[in-house]
Structure 1
Amino acid sequence: MLYVLPETAGDIIVVQATDQLTSTDYQDILLPLLEQKTATHGGVRCLIYLDQGFTGWEAGAIWEDTKLGIQHGTDFIRLAVVGGNTWLDWAVKLGAVFISGEAKHFTESQFLQALHWIDGA
């Protein structure tokens, strides 16, 4: 499941993933939000918080994640992935392959640091 957190404002998107991400999470929540923000601001600063209950992606969601990266990778100014070391490899690959802006991994205890980082110059 994907939740939009209240820190989402202006060109900043902050979402929390728990349990498993589904195709619906991408199609109904993340993609419309990303398209609305890029239409208004050009690029976005995004923080994805993979909480302790996050277990990964359903098969269809992996494809949606890949499509989002291909179609919108240049729309990200900064992307922070906050979560445990289990997701570090995914965060590094996501940043290296799909994102033209900066990408960085933060531990759960560094959530506020990640929020400040995406909002930086």
Structure 2
Amino acid sequence: MNTQRHGITIGIERIEGESLLILKATGKLTHEDYQAITPVLESSLQGISAKHMKMLVDITEFSGWELRAAWDDFQLGLKLGFNIEKIAIYGDKNWQELASKIGSWFIAGDMASFGNYQDAIEWLTD
């Protein structure tokens, strides 16, 4: 039996005295994935100071979006973008550098792409 996993996991980690919001995308995301994660994400963010929100997005196991889910992702980014100081995209996708440049148009803070996890963490906590 071949089980296909997909979804978004969320966590908050303390690294070097910083609170980092960690999102990990797995598989091909669906509209239902965003319906499930959006209320959880909004609830989680209430405990983080908006001026200092830093986020690591792990796309190492991400394979894409369904069309409607891509729109959901864009809308979620717009909703949260003004409260984010830094976003590090960590993965090995050939399109992630372009995604970080385009994404930076929609957030108030900085966004960068990394192929190395430790480099991403160091940039976020610098």
Match of 1:46 among 33, 55, 68: 55
If each structure's helix is expressed as a fraction of its own residues, which one has the higher value? 1
Counterpart residue number, 1:8: 13
Report 1:99-114 matches (<5 A). Answer: 99-107=107-115, 110-114=116-120
Greater C-alpha radius of gyration: 2
Separation of aligned partners in 2, 1:80 and 1:30: 20
Residues 1:89 and 2:98 are matched in the alignment: yes
Query: Structure 1: which amino acid aligns with 2:9?
Result: Y
CA contact (8 A) 2:97 2:112 kept: no
Instruction: Assess if the C-alpha contact under 8 Å between 2:56 and 2:120 holds in 1.
Output: yes
1:76 is displaced (CA, Å) by: 0.7
Output the TM-score relative to the length of structure 1. Answer: 0.78
1:56 equivalent to 2:64? Answer yes
Q: Secondary structure at the match of 1:8?
A: strand
- Cα 1:12–1:34 change in 2 (3 A) is farther
Conserved in 2, the CA contact under 8 Å of 1:15 and 1:49? Answer: yes
Q: Which ranges in structure 1 are unaligned for 5 or more consecutive residues?
A: none
Q: Which runs of 5+ in 2 are unaligned?
A: 1-6
Q: State the Cα distance separating 1:102 from its structure 2 match.
A: 0.7
Per-residue CA distance 1:21-70 (angstroms, 9 max, x = gap)? 2223333225532453245422421010111x421111121111111122
Report which of the two has the higher share of strand.
Answer: 2
- Using a 3 Å threshold, how does the CA distance of structure 1 residues 34 and 47 change in structure 2: closer, same or farther? farther
Matched letter for residue 49 of structure 1: D
Identical counterparts, % of pairs: 25
Equivalenced residue count is 115
Q: Which residue of 1 aligns with 2:79?
A: 71
| RMSD over equivalenced CA pairs, Å | 2.2
